[in-house]
Structure 1
Amino acid sequence: MRNLDEQTITQAVLARNAGTEDRRLHEIMTSLVQHLHAFARETQLTEQEWEKGIEFLTAVGQICTPTRQEFILLSDTLGLSTLVTAQNHKKPAGCTEATVFGPFHVADAPQFDLGANISSGLPGTPWFVKGKVQSADGAPIPHAKIEVWQADDAGFYDVQKPGLEAHHGRAILQANAEGHYQFRTIVPDCYPIPHDGPVGKMLETLNRHPWRPAHLHFMITAPGFQRLVTHVFREGGDYLDSDAVFGVRSSLIAEWVSHESGLDPYGNQIDSQYYTLEFDFILHHA
């Protein structure tokens, strides 16, 4: 293949890729090449602009660490994460909606008993969370695995804090035989996604803010049901209509109820304001 030009290069690349035996890979790469080349033609992309694009992607990769995934932030802020989530998690009405996974989940979160304080000493306003895990027909799902993670009241996750020797504000719990769960933590606040890197510079250049509304992450799994990755957002909170990563769903917004000092939901005296949240999750059969 010689003397290729802007009219013939696309088909040349597609022909070169045609030898793979992985048909799904072939399908994806064919579409990717076609769309990339169409993008360059449509925008009349200059060499200098593509050099800037390569510099940007290089910077995204260079800032990634085991605790910071800039490519997830890029995918999130471009809406690609929400698109992929939405098209892969179509569910019957009534099932809890999925939303973006985000870059702050860890696989080795500590395990806690139901009712435990999963904040692990984080300062903040006490928050008591409970609910149940059930199927679409209302039947309880016993012993579902529930992973929870959150920012603190300053907007930081534990993995963003250098030098910590243990996890804070995250847990693995197991629902009881009736599908109920409960735990104590602190009220998280809204926060900006990490914006000191190339994705942050992109948002600034686009005149976009980096903020996410206050939320609590959940990942719930149970045999015979689809895995659910979702958030619960604070009703009336900031940025619900301008989430930097496009993750808000109306069905995932719930009231975080304020209470004055007195007896907490566990019957213990509490001398400060606290909040409660009750949220049920409805899983879809696999």
Structure 2
Amino acid sequence: MSESTSPGTPVPATQQEREAEVTRQVLASFDGCADPRLREIMRSLAHHLHAFVRDVRLTEEEWARGIDFLTRAGHITDERRQEFILLSDVLGASMQTVAVNNEAYDDATEATVFGPFFVENSPEITQGGDLSFGAAGEPCWVEGSVTDVTGKPVAGARIEVWEADEDGFYDTQYGDDRTTARAHLFSDADGRYRFWALTPTPYPIPHDGPVGALLAAVGRSPMRASHLHFMVSAPAQRTLVTHIFVRGDELLDQDAVFGVKESLVKDFLPQPAGIPTPDGRDLGDRSWSRVRFDIVLAPEDS
């Protein structure tokens, strides 16, 4: 079956062969690569890229616009903003990579996208501590356990948590030196953990750059479903990067980065003002919420 420049317009066999020869030459150029894995990756990348160009009959003007898009993504990227992670996320490449690298293992907690807002060296909080550090939002009591797939508690697991405030911004988006709505803590001797965070709310990914323009052009929303980020690590266990999502959120089936998995949707139970908190904290006339998230880590070599 011949290719088409447009529906119903076949590409002559001689033209197909000319295009195929270009691909063969490019693939052969990697034959001398001493790194077998790099050679495999580059040959596959070139093969699929050439197939894409031929499949859609890409014009030179369209290719130039694509180059310009990537150039603008590079210009807007800095130490606080990573436009290429956003691009990977909205194309589903991030979630596909997560799927490939986190094969299902018994009842281990599912992984999801890392996102562009993780920061190394977050503050440490103790059990029951508050990671909001003054960020705006409704208090949320988060508790749970960390176990391995046999049900054995994992003591001393490092639990990194980060989230947006109620206005939909992470601390790194404010342009100052604040550190809010992020922290880490360690599971106790019984594998349990507990802390105060903020009740997650929906927010848009940064959409004032080329990725936002792309979403607008194709009629897609930049909104993310409400979520709380986790990264959990422990010796002999596979590091888990995941979120938990708020049951009932209208955006669960249209998350901009395809990060929602049913197993990660949790009940964030609303608590009216005046209801006693689990640790006796006095919240005055403020409402709050609570959620339980029991984490199961897969073994490191799985």
- TM bucket (normalised to shorter chain) is over 0.9
1:220 aligns with 2:209: no
Letter in 2 for 1:12: Q
Q: Deviations over 1:127-160 (max 9, x none)?
A: 1111010011211001100000000011100000
1:188 to 200, 203, 206: 200
1:233 to 231, 234, 245: 245
Report the Cα distance in structure 2 between the residues aligned to 1:51 and 1:282, rounded to whole angstroms.
Answer: 47
Q: Deviations over 1:154-209 (max 9, x none)?
A: 1100000012x331000011111111111112212100000000000000000000
1:7 aligns with 2:29: no
Local SS of the residue matching 1:18: coil
1:141 to 148, 154, 160: 154
Give 1:44 shift.
1.1
Report the Cα distance in structure 2 between the residues aligned to 1:168 and 1:113, rounded to whole angstroms.
Answer: 16
Structure 2 regions of 5+ residues with no counterpart?
Answer: 1-16
**Equivalent residues in 2 for 1:1-286 (5 A)?**
5-163=18-176, 165-260=177-272, 261-271=274-284, 272-286=286-300
Letter in 1 for 2:55: E
Kept after mapping to 2: 8 A contact 1:262/1:269 = no
Kept after mapping to 1: 8 A contact 2:145/2:192 = yes
The CA RMSD measured in Å over matched residues stands at: 1.2
Q: Deviations over 1:215-237 (max 9, x none)?
A: 00000000000000000000001
Letter in 1 for 2:298: H
Report the TM-score when normalising by structure 1. Answer: 0.96
Give 1:5 shift.
4.6
Q: Deviations over 1:43-102 (max 9, x none)?
A: 111111100110011111111011111000000000111111011101223110000000
Report the Cα distance in structure 2 between the residues aligned to 1:112 and 1:190, rounded to whole angstroms.
Answer: 25
Local SS of the residue matching 2:19: coil
Structure 1 regions of 5+ residues with no counterpart?
Answer: none
Kept after mapping to 2: 8 A contact 1:262/1:270 = no
Kept after mapping to 1: 8 A contact 2:136/2:167 = no
Local SS of the residue matching 2:45: helix
Give 1:267 shift.
1.9
Identity of aligned residues (%): 46
